């Protein structure tokens, strides 16, 4: 009697195993991290295998602050419509733009008697954008001994740009603190990440024509227009030899009376 009661349970378990095997889906991607230069092509790979005679449903979604469909009901939709194509279950995007940078999810599902069986894979697309011409802030004049900060920035490049400053067409030595180098004393700090050039105590030798160059390895480096900075000495820094003393008549009379 006990064996008769166990038989339906055993058959049910075997049936469940056969069911999952029949409707099971496996999914993969050739590349989870795709990079492409702006205006070129990008391939978002999605490959799946399913049971015999199973026709799954394929959908793609773009995962941003608001999740949106990219491929739905067997057609491309949204921003990719007209500039992408499906190759099996993968998407090839032509003429990618910086707005295409995002995470994408490929979903493959099969409706079953027990609901929907779903498998998915996620791909991150990063669109590389060349640096744009930076904007530069260079004072036209400064007083010797004062603090001067020059700024350089551009916001188009992806990845973020790094910066380098030039004086009179010659690149400044990279320096993260004041001190001495093989090329002599340096009175500035240059931050290649933020694009700032800081003089703690600017001097007349710092007079010159300055410009900044931005580069992120994508395309050619870009620079801003050169600007002249003139450093003047403060009155307190003038040499005493520059002052010419002329004796007055009063001084002369005092000298004569002293002699007498």
List all residues 6 or more positions away from 118 whose beta carbon is below 8 Å from its beta carbon.
25, 107, 108, 109
Tell me how far apart the alpha carbons of residues 93 and 39 are, in angstroms, rounded to a whole number.
10
Query: What domains does the chain contain, in order, with CATH numbers?
Result: 24-128 (2.60.40.10), 135-233 (2.60.40.10)
CA distances from 174 to 88, 147, 155 (A): 51, 19, 22
For residue 253, name the pLDDT band (cuts at 50, 70, 90). Answer: very low
Question: Burial, 91: exposed, middle or buried (Cβ in 10 Å; 0-12, 13-18, 19+)?
Answer: buried
Name the CA dihedral angle for 206, 211, 216, 219, rounded to a multiple of 10 degrees: -140
Does the predicted TM-score (pTM) go above 0.75? no
Each residue's pLDDT tens digit, 111-142: 777 777 889 999 999 999 999 999 999 999 99
Each residue's pLDDT tens digit, 152-197: 999 999 999 999 999 999 999 876 654 434 345 667 999 999 999 9
Tell me how far apart the alpha carbons of residues 242 and 59 are, in angstroms, rounded to a whole number.
83
CA nearest to 71, candidates 47, 106, 44, 95 = 106
83-87, 228-232, 253-257: least confident range: 253-257
Each residue's pLDDT tens digit, 222-240: 999 999 999 998 776 655 4
The radius of gyration of the chain from alpha carbons, rounded to an integer in Å, stands at 36
Each residue's pLDDT tens digit, 43-75: 999 999 877 777 889 999 999 999 999 999 999
Whose tokens are 């941003």? That residue is 64
For residue 20, name the pLDDT band (cuts at 50, 70, 90). Answer: very low
Sign of CA dihedral 81, 84, 87, 91: negative
CA nearest to 164, candidates 219, 230, 220, 210 = 210
- The reported pLDDT for the residue numbered 176 is 60
Whether 110 shows a pLDDT value over 90: the answer reads: no
């Amino acid at each position: 009697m006990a064996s008769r009661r166990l038989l339906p349970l055993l058959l049910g378990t075997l049936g469940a195993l056969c069911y999952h095997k029949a409707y099971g889906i496996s999914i993969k991607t050739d590349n989870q991290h795709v990079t492409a230069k702006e205006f070129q092509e990008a391939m978002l790979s999605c490959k799946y295998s399913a049971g015999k005679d199973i026709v799954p449903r394929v959908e793609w979604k773009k995962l941003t602050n608001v999740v949106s469909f990219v491929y739905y009901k067997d057609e491309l939709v949204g921003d990719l419509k007209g500039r992408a194509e499906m190759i099996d279950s993968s998407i090839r995007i032509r003429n990618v733009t910086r707005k295409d940078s995002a995470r994408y999810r490929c979903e493959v599902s099969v409706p079953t008697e027990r609901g929907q069986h779903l498998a998915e894979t996620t791909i991150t697309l990063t669109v590389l954008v060349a640096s744009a011409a930076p904007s530069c802030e260079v004072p036209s004049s400064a007083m010797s001994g004062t603090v001067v900060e020059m700024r350089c920035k551009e916001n188009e490049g992806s990845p973020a740009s790094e910066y380098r400053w030039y004086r009179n067409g010659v690149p400044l030595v990279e320096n993260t603190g004041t001190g001495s180098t093989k090329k002599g004393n340096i009175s500035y700090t240059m931050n290649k990440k933020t694009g700032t050039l800081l003089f703690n105590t600017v001097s007349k030798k710092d007079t010159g024509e300055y410009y900044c160059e931005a580069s992120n390895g994508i395309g050619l480096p870009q620079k801003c227009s050169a600007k002249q900075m003139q450093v003047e000495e403060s009155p307190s820094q003038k040499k005493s030899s520059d002052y010419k003393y002329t004796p007055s008549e009063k001084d002369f009379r005092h000298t004569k009376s002293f002699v007498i």
